[in-house]
């Protein structure tokens, strides 16, 4: 009772360091995925870069401007899409919001008309341009949100979970459109998402943060190369229950003539596995897969969470990092196997 | 219209268009208006019939109430919209635009005001005329209408100020409740401030409330060109103070902003 009263009179607060010692730069026209677990500081970083939130310390420059001091100048060159927020007027058709934004961004009438025509064609908005937003599906609304952010021809587009809640088809559409728009007008994209599909289909580079600190900054290909320590080989053979006794190879599932192996690349090669299978009998078919990017990301998060909390993976020796990553990958593969078996 | 003014006119127009699509709330206010005027009309009539002394004749009191209620019901409660935008985090979409956030909010409010005030004014006049069987001179109503609109705009700007407190408080419900009651008392919602106790009469001039409620409505009681001119100056003065306060509050709010929902 006393503590409650004290909390009421003098509430206790504690500071959370949302972003700390984070440093990166992005070149014009790059498409960068900015990812991290929940609470990593992604959205906070984007909002600081957009000038919406003001950092306590440190410096950010976007297109040569300081966002916290030059928010309005920056806004003319910056588009933002927040997947869980809407800038469209709910009761009105998207066209009305587009007209409003043309005024807000001081776009001349002729240029605005031309831009609307071009974007509505690209994003296929014609059928519902005059339908009230409240009657649109989530996918249609998100396409409108993106068009609203592109109307003023921004040089830089921040996308905060643009495909959240969308079905696979709508996601694929948005991903393709974003890539096409970035290619066409050399728009720099900085995207946060928990969907690895967004990263792989839109972006070329990935920045991973956790606890507000940088964990990885490099290409998606390098991320895979660095953190994927195994491949999955599935063989459909002429004989039942194919057995391979090769170090570093273990069976994940075996059902009839189909056997799935996990191949540890630091111990053996996929070529050895295929050779060994061919020696045992004819191979009808085979498939070689990387671990999905999801598993790589999960492993990366798991590594940092398990071992270093919020102090940053950068402090870990590479060998330990890889070992933990491999363990996490194996766990992820095991979990998937169990899921499949259950289904 | 181009440039900076054009931006705010665009906000006004889109807000007006949205209000036209959401007419349910407006019709609800009209019904409430009719009921409240009916009740108070009966009350003042009963008071007069009971032989209780009234400083103002009952029919004038009903017209006074019709004008104050018109102003209160026409001014959009912008604090609720701002509170919701801050709570849901939608504020991030609004802050990313090259436009004054306070200016845009005010323009949006004006759009809503223009959508609802004419119908509510017509309702006020019609109801008061029916309930009292009396209509003030047309020239008085023509003076009251624009001054009342200006008063509505000031009430709305004050609500924006209350809404800005959501950046710190999260929930502005209690503050808005107290603010509203202060407005009703020091503004003289039910009867002119001159009829209130001395303490209220002494404090009221130091608040913006008489200028937005009592003084515009009092024009229906006694026609006075000098009072109308003084009211214009008073509204301009309080408008300036409110604008400066809003700009200060917003600067502080933006610097201390934490966006809900990541």
Q: How many structural domains are present in chain B?
A: 1
pLDDT on residue A320? 34
Query: What is the per-residue pLDDT across A185-208, written as a single tens digit (0 to 9) for each?
Result: 889 999 998 888 888 889 999 998
Q: Is residue B70 part of a domain?
A: yes
Instruction: Tell me the pTM.
Output: 0.80
Are A88 and A97 in contact by the 8 Å Cβ rule? The answer is yes
Chain B residues closer than 8 Å to A71 by CB? 95-96
- Of the partner residues A52, A82, A96, the one whose CB lies closest to the CB of residue B14: A96
Q: Where is pLDDT greater, at B159 or A163? A: B159
The predicted-structure confidence for B93-110, as pLDDT tens digits, reads as follows 888 889 999 999 999 999
Interface check for A264 against chain B (CB to CB < 8 A): the answer is: no
For residue B105, the distance in angstroms to the closest alpha carbon of chain A comes to: 13
pLDDT at B2: 55
Surface-to-core class of residue A336, CB atoms within 10 Å of its CB (0-12 exposed, 13-18 middle, 19+ buried)? middle
At residue A28 the predicted structure's pLDDT band, cuts being 50, 70 and 90, is: very high
What average pLDDT is seen over chain A? Answer: 82
Task: Give the lowest-confidence range in A53-67, A290-304, B240-254.
Answer: A290-304
Contacts of B3 in chain A (CB under 8 A): 106
Residue B11 and residue A82: Cβ atoms within 8 Å?
A: no
Q: How far apart are CA A62 and CA B177, in angstroms?
A: 43
* pLDDT score recorded for residue A314: 40
Please identify among residues 94-113 of chain A the ones whose CB lies closer than 8 Å to any CB of chain B: 96-97, 99-100, 103-106
Contacts of A84 in chain B (CB under 8 A): 89, 261
Burial A137-150 (b: 16+ CB within 10 A, else e): eebbbbbbbbbbbb
Residues of A with Cβ-Cβ distance to B7 under 8 angstroms:
103-104, 106
Confidence of residue B22 (pLDDT cuts 50, 70, 90): confident
Asked if A74 contacts A66 with a C-beta cutoff of 8 angstroms, the reply is no
- Secondary structure (DSSP) of B47-96: HHHTT---SS-HHHHHHHHHHHHHHHHHS--HHHHHHHHHHHTTHHHHHT
Quick check: B124 pLDDT over 90? yes
- Residue B149 in contact with residue B113, Cβ under 8 Å? yes
User: Which residue, chain included where needed, has tokens 């290909």?
Assistant: A221
- Beta carbons of A106 and B18 less than 8 Å apart: no
Q: Please name the residue of chain B whose CA is at the shortest distance from the CA of residue A95.
A: B14
Of A94 and A328, more confident: A94
Q: Dihedrals φ, ψ of A94, to 5°? A: -55, -35
Nearest CB among A54, A82, A96 relative to B93 is that of A82
CA dist., res. A297 & res. A310, Å (int): 17
- State the pLDDT at residue A243: 83
The residues with which A34 forms a beta bridge, in sequence order, are A207
ipTM: 0.85
| Domain-embedded: residue B59 | yes
pLDDT, residue B1, reads: 55
* Band of residue B224 on the pLDDT scale cut at 50, 70, 90: confident
CB pair distance less than 8 Å for A39 and B262: yes
Q: How far is A316 from chain B (nearest CA, A)?
A: 28
Q: What percent of chain B has pLDDT over 90?
A: 63
Flag whether B61 is in a domain.
yes
Residue that wins the pLDDT comparison between A165 and A287? A287
Q: Does A13 touch chain B (CB under 8 A)?
A: no
Give the Cα separation of A56 and B10 in Å (integer). Answer: 35
Greater confidence (B191 vs B108) lies with B108
Residues A31, A36, A38, A41: what is their CA dihedral angle, to the nearest 10 degrees? -80
Nearest CA in chain B to A82: B93
Residue (of B87, B3, B105, B43) closest to A105 by Cα position:
B3
Q: What is the mean pLDDT of residues B207-234?
A: 91
Q: Do A92 and B3 touch (CB under 8 A)?
A: no
Longest CA–CA span in chain B (Å) reads: 64
Closest Cβ opposite residue A89 in set B2, B14, B259: B14
B10: contact with A, CB 8 A cutoff: yes
Contact at 8 Å (CB) between B67 and B124?
A: yes
From B21, B22, B92, residue closest to A47, measured CB to CB: B92
Sheet holding A78-82, edge to edge: A78-82, A156-160, A188-192, A31-35, A205-210, A213-219
In a domain, residue B104? The reply is: yes
Instruction: Establish if B225 touches chain A: CB-CB under 8 angstroms.
Output: no
Distance from CA of A184 to the nearest CA of B (A): 24
pLDDT of residue A326: 45
Q: Do B98 and A75 touch (CB under 8 A)?
A: yes
pLDDT at B128: 92
Q: What is the pLDDT of residue A329?
A: 47
Domain of residue B56 covers: 3-255
Burial A74-108 (b: 16+ CB within 10 A, else e): bbbbbbbbbbebbbbbeebbbbbbbbbbbbbbbbe
Nearest CB to B98 within list A42, A76, A91: A76
Task: Name the average pLDDT for chain B.
Answer: 90
Q: Convert the pLDDT of each residue in B139-181 to its tens digit.
A: 999 999 999 999 999 999 999 999 999 998 889 999 999 999 9
How many CB atoms are located within 10 Å of the residue A208 CB? 22
Q: Please indicate, yes or no, if residue B18 is contained in any of the structural domains.
A: yes
A82 vs B11, B92, B99: nearest CB: B92
Put simply, the chain B residues between 176 and 205 with a CB less than 8 A from any chain A CB are none
* Distance between CA atoms of residues A252 and B71, nearest Å: 74
- A73 to chain B: closest CA residue: B98
Quick check: A226 and A194 in contact, CB under 8 A? no
B66, B36 in Cβ contact below 8 A? no
Q: Please list every residue in chain B whose beta carbon sits closer than 8 Å to the beta carbon of residue A50.
A: 92, 96
Mean pLDDT of A116-140: 91
Whether the predicted pLDDT of B84 surpasses 50 = yes
In this structure, are strands A249-255 and A258-264 parallel, antiparallel, or unpaired? Answer: antiparallel
Tell me if B38 sits within 8 A of B49, measured CB to CB. Answer: no
Q: What is the pLDDT of residues A41-97, one digit of tens each?
A: 888 888 899 888 888 888 899 999 999 889 889 999 999 988 888 899 998 999 999
Helices (H), chain B: 3-21, 23-49, 58-74, 78-88, 91-95, 101-132, 138-164, 166-169, 173-187, 198-203, 209-212, 214-218, 225-255
Q: How many CB atoms sit inside 10 A of residue B228's CB? A: 17
pLDDT of res. A321? 40
Q: Which of B132, B145, B167 is nearest to B40 (CA)?
A: B132
Q: Touching check for B24 and chain A: CB below 8 Å?
A: no
B88 pLDDT band, cuts 50/70/90, is confident
pLDDT at B53: 66
- Range 44-103 of B in CB contact (< 8 A) with A: 88-90, 92-99
In a domain, B145, yes or no: yes
CA angle at B208 for the pair B204 and B213, rounded to the nearest 5°: 85
Q: Within a domain: residue B260?
A: no
In a domain, B261, yes or no: no
Question: What pLDDT is attached to residue A323?
Answer: 42
Average of per-residue pLDDT across A235-248:
86
Highest averaged pLDDT of the listed ranges A41-45, A302-306, B154-158, B253-257: B154-158
The pLDDT assigned to A303 comes to 67
User: Measured between CB atoms, which of B2, B92, B97 is closest to A85?
Assistant: B92
Nearest residue on chain A to B255, alpha-carbon basis: A54
Query: Which residues in chain B have their CB less than 8 angstroms from residue A96's CB?
Result: 14, 17
Q: In order of start, what are the domains of chain A with their CATH numbers? A: 31-223 (3.40.50.300), 229-290 (3.30.70), 294-342 (no CATH)
Q: Angle at Cα B74 formed by Cα B70 and Cα B78, nearest 5°?
A: 145
């Amino acid at each position: 009772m006393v503590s409650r009263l004290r909390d009421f009179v003098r509430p206790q607060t504690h500071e959370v360091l949302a972003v700390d010692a984070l440093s990166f730069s992005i070149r014009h026209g790059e498409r960068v995925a900015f990812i991290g677990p929940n609470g990593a500081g992604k959205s906070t970083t984007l909002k600081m870069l957009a000038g919406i939130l003001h950092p306590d310390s440190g410096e950010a420059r976007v297109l040569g401007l300081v966002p916290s001091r030059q928010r309005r100048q920056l806004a003319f060159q910056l588009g933002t899409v927040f997947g869980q927020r809407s800038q469209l007027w709910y009761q009105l058709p998207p066209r009305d919001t587009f007209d409003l934004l043309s005024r807000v961004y001081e776009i001349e009438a002729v240029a605005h008309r031309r831009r609307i025509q071009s974007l509505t064609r690209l994003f296929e908005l014609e059928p519902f341009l005059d339908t009230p937003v409240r009657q649109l599906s989530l996918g249609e609304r998100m396409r409108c949100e993106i068009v609203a952010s592109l109307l003023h021809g921004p040089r830089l587009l921040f996308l905060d979970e643009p495909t959240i809640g969308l079905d696979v088809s709508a996601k694929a559409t948005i991903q393709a459109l974003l890539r096409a728009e970035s290619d066409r007008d050399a728009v720099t994209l900085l995207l946060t998402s928990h969907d690895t599909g967004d990263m792989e289909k839109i972006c070329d580079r990935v920045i991973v943060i956790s606890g507000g600190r940088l964990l990885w900054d490099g290409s998606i290909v390098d991320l895979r190369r660095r953190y994927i320590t195994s491949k999955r080989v599935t063989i459909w053979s002429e004989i039942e229950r194919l057995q391979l006794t090769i170090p570093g190879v273990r069976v994940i599932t075996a059902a009839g003539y189909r056997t799935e192996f996990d191949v540890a690349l630091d111990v053996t090669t996929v070529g050895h596995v295929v050779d060994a299978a061919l020696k045992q009998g004819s191979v009808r078919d085979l498939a070689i897969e990387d671990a999905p990017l999801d598993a790589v990301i999960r492993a990366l998060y798991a590594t940092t969470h398990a071992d270093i909390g919020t102090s940053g993976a950068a402090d870990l020796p590479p060998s330990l990092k890889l070992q933990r990553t491999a363990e996490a990958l194996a766990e992820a593969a095991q979990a998937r196997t169990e899921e499949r078996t259950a289904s | 219209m181009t440039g900076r003014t054009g931006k705010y006119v665009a906000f006004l127009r889109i807000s007006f268009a949205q209000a036209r699509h959401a007419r349910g709330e407006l019709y609800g206010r009209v019904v409430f208006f009719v009921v409240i005027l009916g009740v108070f009309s009966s009350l003042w009539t009963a008071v007069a019939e009971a032989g209780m002394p009234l400083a103002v004749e009952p029919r004038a009191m009903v017209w006074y109430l019709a004008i104050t209620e018109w102003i209160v019901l026409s001014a959009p409660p912008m604090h609720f919209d701002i509170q919701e935008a801050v709570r849901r985090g939608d504020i991030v979409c609004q802050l990313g635009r090259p436009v004054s956030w306070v200016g845009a909010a005010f323009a949006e409010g004006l759009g809503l005001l223009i959508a609802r005030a004419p119908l509510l004014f017509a309702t006020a006049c019609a109801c008061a005329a029916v309930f009292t069987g009396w209509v003030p001179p047309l020239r008085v109503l023509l003076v009251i209408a624009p001054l009342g609109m200006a008063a509505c705009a000031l009430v709305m700007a004050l609500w924006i100020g209350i809404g800005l407190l959501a950046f710190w408080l999260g929930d502005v419900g209690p503050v808005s409740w107290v603010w509203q009651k202060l407005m009703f008392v020091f503004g003289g919602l039910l009867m002119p401030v001159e009829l209130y106790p001395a303490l209220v009469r002494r404090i009221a001039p130091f608040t913006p409330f008489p200028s937005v409620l009592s003084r515009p409505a009092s024009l229906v009681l006694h026609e006075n060109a000098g009072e109308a001119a003084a009211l214009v100056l008073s509204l301009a003065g309080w408008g300036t103070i409110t604008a400066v306060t809003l700009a200060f509050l917003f600067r502080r709010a933006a610097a201390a902003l934490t966006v809900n929902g990541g």
